Amino acid sequence: MLQLFILKRFTLFLFFFIFLSYSCNNKNKPDDDGNDNKSRHTLIKVLDKGVLSAITDYNSTNYFVYRGQPMGFHYDLLMIFAEHLGVKLDIGISTELDKTFSCLLDYGTDIIALDLTITRERAELFDFTTPIIKTKQVLVQQKPEGWQNMSNKQLSDSLIRSPLDFSGITIYVQKNSSFVPRLQNLRDETGTDFNIIETSTKQEQLISMVARGEIKYTVSDQHVAMVNRTYYSNIDIKTSVSFEQYLAWAVHKGSNDLLEELNTWLETFKKTAKYKYLYRKYFENPKHVQITESEYNTLGGGKISAYDALIKKHAKEINWDWRLLASLIYQESHFLPDVTSWAGAFGLMQLMPATAANFGIDQTASPDQQINAGCKFIKYLDKEFSDMVPDSNERLNFILAAYNSGLGHVLDAIRLAEKYGRDTDIWRNNVDTFILLKSDPQYYHDPVVKYGYSRGEESYNFVREINERYEHYKNAIPEN
């Protein structure tokens, strides 16, 4: 069973490593305003943009998707900090450290948010925040066959317990990681001759390779190794290769006001019960292994929900990315087919009874029939907007808004946008402004408005939240 899980986990890690790779150059291009990096990433610029852009990596603790929800220690910290600033979080993924550093140096990313050891070389390139985690580096090695029946002394005697015993071994570590110079220094300090192999393979993948016997040794941060030990009981992580070290986030050199705000926030937040809860949740939670092994974790089973196959089937019928449709269904029902809202909307797609009847279903419908009816409704809305909003990608926002509030209220918002000189075929900062204003008497009493009052904030947030979750799904889940 253990070997099957290890093989499954390693295969998925390898797949996601290939799929995710370096994404920041597509998401966070520099502004075309002639400003240098220093001026682009000040706190004032972040607040003016209304967006905090960050880069992290994809693993069982930093960032992943579980049961349709993005999660992770660094992801949660970023979300809380973005909320503190009152801005939106735009998160990207990079699986290679050299490219992660390029995300900060060459592109529009404001923060590298992952476990970065503060080294002299890195400090010449970046400014580091106040430490977030204290850890040390440990050797990861496989326990011998029959270890369960050994005494503690027998087990310890069969393993490497000191860097002085590294002679002749080969240690695999991630390229450009802090493990490389540490091992090089250790080799010089001890006079021990051992091999260091740098690879693009990530830290957790290397641990899994040790567990399945593909390589013999790697080095990991202790807190990451401790989490992985809950998955792989056949690994040993007790041999230290460093003193305790601080891990932190990095920002652009010279982004002093952003760094100061980050540090002030971190120093306060780290003293709170919420920070302690987050740390325990991801690094000390005995149920974390169950979460990671779950088929509904994008690291373990690679699924968003129990209905992925149905969602993929019906998404093709409306020419949607299935991950967008999944995000809509999560927003509506959290993938619960039997839920009914206070207003009477029911099922996975939360169709109102009258709308459901128009598309041939009632509350006895199966999940397949529910999704099919919802997609027929989406297809109807797409046709209604096709002439008004020619761009198919832009039209998705109008469809989502109408799915939530009804077609009439979105048409009212379009008419208001036209009256006030905005682009009627652009959602963000144009038509969405007026969907928000439809709760204001000045606007819902306007003669061009035919459908009256609407809780526009709900529709506005509906579109925004689905799109944000869709970005997370794209980060973590393959399109096909």
Q: What is the CA 325 to chain-centroid distance, rounded?
A: 18
314-350: b (≥16 Cβ within 10 Å) or e: bbeebebebbbbbbbbbbbbebebeeeeeeebbbbbb
CA distances (Å), 352 to each of 220, 416, 463, in order? 52, 27, 19
244 is a catalytic site residue? no
Check 96, 204, 332, 471 and give the catalytic one. 332
Q: What is the CA 143 to chain-centroid distance, rounded?
A: 33
- Phi first, then psi, for residue 199 (nearest 5°) are -140, 155
Say if residues 297 and 59 touch (Cβ distance below 8 Å).
no
Say if residues 372 and 307 touch (Cβ distance below 8 Å).
no
So which residues are the catalytic ones? 332
